[in-house]
Amino acid sequence: MDWSILWDVISDALLDTLKLLPFLFLLYLLIEILEHNTALSRPRMLTGKAAPVLGAALGTLPMCGFSVMAAKLYSHRHITAGTLVAVFIATSDEALLVLLLSEMGWAAKLVSVLSLILSRFALALVAGYAVDAVLKKKTVPISHHEHGHEHHEHGHERHEEHGHGGHVREEGLETEEEHEGSCECDELSACEHRHENKWVLYLLSPLGHALQVAAFVLAVNLVFGLVAAYAEEALTAFLQGSAFWAQPVLCALIGAIPNCASSVVLAETYALGAIGFGGLLAGLIVNAGLGYAILLGGERRRGLIILGGMLLLGIAAGYAAAGIGLLI
């Protein structure tokens, strides 16, 4: 075993995790504020019509932290599935930096980077709004009559409860003391002890959650870092020898690896001229860094559906770009 490679993997994993830790703390602080401050309504920028635009814009920044933050916010249902997809499509981890620092000519760098940013931003918007539109149609809204009837019944129940001195209580309602006594909470629940110390709620709790996720991220970085360190040359050689029309599929599968190293491998292979733009685009559309690891760790079924959709979209976009490249 080459100990220098092992040390490089460990140091890179630690550095990447430490860079992500402040984002995780701020993320959990935001979640605590949204879930426990009843006087604060959920910001419209997280769930409003402009949310996919914001997600695509943040994903464009060359940082792996945004995909992790988006996955966690989605698991708490503070952003929509469309916004999550927009972030995943637009994010590129370190691929853009690798291309800019490569030995490619400046004209080729400029064209490649701008094409990647613009094409993925446009796809992120289209896919994000499409996903939200489809899911919104599947949600059956409560009619005005039903809502009014429900509100009337709820008010009648409350009237009966107070009118009988608290001795008569309709099923489904409970006193504050019973609610606090029966409240069983986990980290995904908005139900917290109301009298909990604010230092615990807004400092220690976010810090504890951030450290837990950081430990998970560190483990994933170490595992996939070791795989990438010993398999990077094999992956590069494999892509170099692959057929042109097979590249979008192969690159998309490599992009699905939940680690920043996959985007680096794709960008370096493209800079060497071993794969075409279609393969690079397919891989980077699918690539969402550690976002998949976080998403699958909490919601396996939904995560697999999103991953499958991302693979299909990336492969389709890759073949479209490859076809356009041959026509130009």
Give 283-292 pLDDT, tens digit per residue. 999 999 888 9
pLDDT given for residue 164 in this prediction = 44
Residues of the chain with pLDDT under 70: 1-2, 36-46, 64, 138-196
pLDDT given for residue 1 in this prediction = 52
pLDDT given for residue 204 in this prediction = 82
Dihedral angle sign, alpha carbons of residues 254, 258, 263, 264: negative
Give the integer Cα–Cα distance in Å for 168 and 174: 11
CA-based end-to-end distance of the chain: 48
The CB density around residue 252, as the number of other CB atoms within 10 Å, is: 27
pLDDT in tens, 256-284: 988 777 888 899 889 988 899 999 999 99
Dihedral angle sign, alpha carbons of residues 45, 48, 53, 58: positive
- H or E element, residue 69: helix 65-75
Domain parsing of the chain, residue ranges: 3-139+174-327
pLDDT given for residue 36 in this prediction = 67
Give the integer Cα–Cα distance in Å for 45 and 52: 9
Both structure tokens of 226: 């070791």
